[in-house]
Structure 1
Amino acid sequence: MTDIIDKAAMALSGGLIVLGVVVMGLIETLAGKPFGAAPITNDAGEIVATPMIDPTIRTGLVLAGIAVLGLYAVYKLATPVPEETAAGREVTAD
């Protein structure tokens, strides 16, 4: 059984992780080279090309999604299990 907090935590954390990995990765791919996370330099050390989206933004979104999952885990550990769910449902014998 999932309640509103379960659904919200799953949607928020999943959304942040998918946004940081898939969506921004697709944007980087469509934007063209460079595909790497670090700026590309020439032999003189000058920065020739940089990624379209800063890697720290992408990393921050993924870490925020993981943090939401961590907070959700702490919430689930702190809330007590209802009696019906913990012991099961009583069934009368014949």
Structure 2
Amino acid sequence: MTDIIDKAAMALSGGLMLLGVVGLGIVEILAGQPYGAAPMTNDAGEVVATPMVDPTIRTGLVLAAIAVLGVYAAYKLVTPVPEETTAGREVTAD
């Protein structure tokens, strides 16, 4: 059984993860070369090309998604589990 907090945590962490990995990856592909995280340099050491989206932003989004899952896990650890009751249920005897 999932409640609103479960759904919110799954949506937020999934959204951040997809944005950081897939969304910004597509932006990098559409921007063209270079695809790597490090700037490209020539033989003289001059920077000739840099990625469009800074790799720290992408990493930050993925780490934020993992942090949301960590907070959600801590919430689930401290929340008591509701006990099932047999009141109102018909129980058959042997």
What TM-score does the superposition give when structure 1 sets the normalisation length? 0.92
Root-mean-square deviation (CA, aligned residues, Å) is 1.8
Tell me whether 1:49 sits opposite 2:49 in the alignment. Answer: yes
Runs of 4+ in 1 over 4 A off after TM superposition: none
Q: How does 1:1-94 map to 2 (within 5 A)?
A: 1-84=1-84, 92-94=91-93
Which stretches in structure 1 are left out of the alignment for 5+ residues? none
Which stretches in structure 2 are left out of the alignment for 5+ residues? none
Q: Which has the larger radius of gyration?
A: 2
3-state SS of paired residue (1:92): coil
Aligned residues: 92
| Identity level (%) | 76
3-state SS of paired residue (2:28): helix
What one-letter code is carried by the residue in structure 1 that aligns with 2:64?
A
Tell me the CA shift for residue 84 of structure 1: 1.1
What TM-score does the superposition give when structure 2 sets the normalisation length? 0.92
Q: Where is the helix percentage greater, Structure 1 or Structure 2?
A: 1
Tell me the CA shift for residue 39 of structure 1: 0.2
Give the distance between the partners of 1:10 and 1:19, measured in 2 at CA: 14
Tell me the CA shift for residue 93 of structure 1: 1.2
3-state SS of paired residue (1:13): helix
Q: Deviations over 1:39-65 (max 9, x none)?
A: 000011110000000000000000000
3-state SS of paired residue (2:43): coil
Give the distance between the partners of 1:91 and 1:40, measured in 2 at CA: 72
